[in-house]
Every structure is written in C-alpha cells, then in structure tokens.
Chains A and B, each alone.
Chain A
Amino acid sequence: MRTALITLGLLFAASGALPAQDTADPFDDAVQKAVTHGRYAVRRAAAGKLARAGDDAVPAMRRYVDAHGLDAIPLELVDALAQSDVRGPEIEALLTEWAGNRRFFWRSQALGGLARRGVEGARPMFEAAIGDPSHLFRIEGARGLLTVATDDEEATARVRARLGDDDPRVRLRVALLLLERGDGGGARQIGEAVFGAARTFLDDRWGAREATLAVRELQRIAGLDVAAILGDDLDAAAEARAVATAWVQGAAPDYEPPAAQQEEPPPLLGVEVRSCRNGDLFLSVFADGRVAAGLDPRVVVEVDDLSRLVPGDALDGVATHGAIICDFVRVYVSPTPGEPPRAHHKAAPGSVPGPVLEWLKMLAATLDETGIGEPLTVRLGQFATSDD
C-alpha cells in the first residue's frame, strides 16, 4: 500500500522545524507535536493531551504563540480545547483572548470552548456574537447564551430569533441546540434540513451533510429512527419520512415537507467566499439571468444581459492558489450549466490571481445596487492583500 509510505517524508519534514525551547515545561513537547507534527492524528492526540491538562498547559501554548504567532495555531488544537470540559482561569482566559481576536482564524471554536464550559464572564461576548457576520460565531454565541442564561427569557428569545437566520446552517444548529434543551421550537428548521438533502451550491452537495447531521441528532436527542430517509430503500425511506413529518408537525402542525427532492438547476457561475472574520458569501448566477445570494440561493436580481457578468477566457483553468489555512475565495464558471467548469479557482488571501480579482471587482461593481455588491467588495478587501 502506497499510503504506508506517507509517514516518513512528512515526519522528517515536520521534525526538522522544531525549535529548541529553553524550558523544562513538559507541555512544550506536546505543543510542538500538536502544531507541527506531520501526522494529522498525532497532532490531534497531542492537542487532546493539552486540553486535558487545562491550566497547566497554558504557559506552553502562550510561549509557542509568542514565538511563532497566533496563525501558527491549528484548528485541531483549538478544537480540542473547545470540546474539553476542563475548566480553569488560565485556559478560560486564553480562550477569551482568542475568541475576542477578530483576526484569529479559529475564534469561533474558541468561543465554543467558552460556551461549552458555561463561562459566565463571557456572556457579553455571547450576546455580541449572536449578531456576528460569521455564521460559526453566531452559532457559538447561541450555544453560550443557552448555557449561561438559561432562565433569561430575553436571551432565549434572541437565540430563538436565529431560527430565522439567513444561513440555513445557523437555522439548523440553533434548532438542535434548542432541542437539546427540550425546546422543539426549531422543529420546522430541522425538517427543512431532513428533507433538504438535495440542496447544492455549485458542486457542493451541502444539503446532504446537513440532512445527515439532522437525522443523526434526531436519533440522538429525540430517539427518532429516521436514518432510512437518506438510504436507497424507497419503502423504508417513505416510512421514515412519515415518522419525521409527524414529529415536525407535533410542534408545527401546518408543516408540509417538500413533495420530492428536486435538484436545483446548476448555475452558470458562482462565487464562494469563506471568511471567518467577515462571514461567508455565496453567489450564484443562473443561465436564465437570475442572480442569487446565499448557500440556499435567494434571487436578488435578474439581469437581461449575462455577458456583463460572465468572464472571458482569461480566467480559464483549474487551480488552488496560495496556502489556504481557513479563509478562501472560490470562483467557478461552467461553459454550460452542469458541465465541468472551464474556470475554477480557489485562493487564499493575498493569492488571488490578478485577472480573477479584477473580474470579482467588476462583478461587485455590476451588482452594486442589488445588496450583494457591497458585501462582496468588503470581503474582497480581505483577499486583495496577504494581510488577512
């Protein structure tokens, strides 16, 4: 098996980069491993060790950040700290700093760590987060408020309001957070995900991921066995659909699931901006002139002349540009809807090729009066330079 050879090159490549530390702190080695090891699983295991150590591991992590910068800290480490329930003033202070740093890629995960621990002092952050441009931050804000403000009706109402969030990922996760607390107020939003497996954006079948999450959580939280909805057995799927429909209608009697899963017509071109700082942006342009915003496309304008929007062949090619840590912009142009793209670029901040960036600016200017031009321009500001 060729994959057995993966190890050697990566391990040696990574181990050479380890700077010596003038300290006897036993957690320095774990931090080094959690950040620099060539193996994903080893990084995760080391991160878990740090998370379990709590306050004791914080000085070593701070030393590493001082020496290498915050951007060196990988998602695996922050996620391990966030998922842990180990409490302590040092670890909570570290997570508070990270969650409050808009430039930190993994600030949402850090906020999630405060939310899961129910850190009372972070309540103002949770309240602010629930209106943040980043969908992940809004979700963690909701989690935090539901944890620290359980008896506060106003806070709970603010969380419930996110059931109407523009982003379907937020709607589902807030609904699940409420369900976890015995509140079925988001049943309709859970139904939206369960019955929305066919939803796509460009080549990404994101609806299937949301449906899988919704089905799994319905099983875990509500004890509802509806997994067959996603399977190939049509009879079992129909039975499971009936069970899920009845469950949703128990909370929302007027709810009717979509009659059948129908794939949306694929767009001619699309732009995807993932930004943990400024929030994600999704833009689809369809062959009939509809321009839609959002992961779940909402038409914002219809244009008569698509030639104003479709880029020329200067963009043709398929490539990833720069080292993508978290945020990226993706441009996708099909020759005809549904066909493999003639232009497909994914780029890190500061690495967007000139013609792609110029076309994106043109697109933002063309859509200036639709409400989507300005958000796109704001996000392009992040990608125009490497100062991300």
Chain B
Amino acid sequence: MWNLSKSLVALAALALPVADEPQTVDFASLSDFEYVEGMELPAHVTKLHEKKIRISGFMAREVQGEGPVEYFLLINDACGCEGVPLLNEILFCAMPEGEKTEILPGSISLVGTLFVGEIVEDDCVIALYCLDVDKIESGSRSGSGSGS
C-alpha cells in the first residue's frame, strides 16, 4: 500500500506542470472575443493574470524609429500592414530592468509574466495585455503561431 501511494504521488507529480514552467499561450486564445472598453474580460484570459507564459509573435515598435528598445509590441502579423491590430491582439512588452533589445526579424518566442486588464491613461484604454519579459527565444518555427 505504501509503495502504491508513493507511486501515485510520483505519478501525480509527473502530471502536474512544474511550478516555473511557463504556460504556452497563443494569440488565438487571447483575441477570440470582441473587446469592448470597460467590459468584463473572459475568464480564460483573466486567469492568465500574473502567470508565467510563453508566446510567439512578431516584434514591432510602438513608435517608428531605429535602434534597441526597452519596450515593444508583440503582434501576430508578419507584415504589420494587413490591418490594425485590436487591443486584444497586442502584447505591450517590457524588457527586464536596465536591458534593451533590438527589434528582431521574424517570429520569436517570449517568456515572461503576463498582466491582464485595462490600463487607462487620459480616459483612453492603452493596453489590455502587458508582458514583463524574462527572455526572448529567437528561433525558427517556434511556438503555436495560431492567432487572428
């Protein structure tokens, strides 16, 4: 019986995600609802608040320019000219304190802590999803890639 219990505990431990293992999230699930200012956000996105996640997308600047940045957008559009992403289709990303990054070409994966909720400035909602970036995983064909 003891051995069985120990085995069950071991199996349960294997089945549970490791505490620090980021949850893989994609744009499809973040943006599968019609966002209206002031609305109650769906549970499947609010449950990600302050969670460690991994997500793939394309880096973009919030304002035009060149050179390394401390803040950038992650969007699900390779070109950036096929349409204007909605607020629930953008992650506003911040690099670790004191670090900057180039805007990398192609698809990248980010690992970091996601913050979910309206951020309002001057009566305007400026962000729904913010990500404190832990690391950038540049790589080929990484992540789910699904999205809007």
Contact = CB atoms under 8 A, between A and B. Distances in A.
Contact of B71 (A3, A42, A203): A3
A22 B30 CA distance: 44
B124 A42 contact: yes
A10 B62 contact: yes
A200 B80 contact: no
A136 B82 contact: yes
Interface residues of A, number: 63
Interface in A1-44: 1-7, 9-10, 13-14, 38-42, 44
Interface residues of B, number: 55
A113 interface: no
B6 to A, nearest CB: 31
Given A3-B127, A3-B132, A209-B146, A79 B83 contact: yes
B125 interface: yes
A320 B141 CA distance: 18
A209 B62 contact: no
A320 B73 contact: no
A90 B145 CA distance: 41
A266 B139 CA distance: 13
Interface in B87-116: 87, 90, 92-97, 102-107, 115
Interface of B: 28, 32, 62-66, 70-71, 73, 76-84, 87, 90, 92-97, 102-107, 115, 119, 121-122, 124-127, 130-132, 138-148
Interface of A: 1-7, 9-10, 13-14, 38-42, 44-45, 74-76, 79-80, 105-106, 136, 197, 200, 202-206, 208-209, 211-213, 216, 227, 230, 266, 274, 276, 280, 318-320, 322-326, 330, 332, 334, 338-341, 344-346
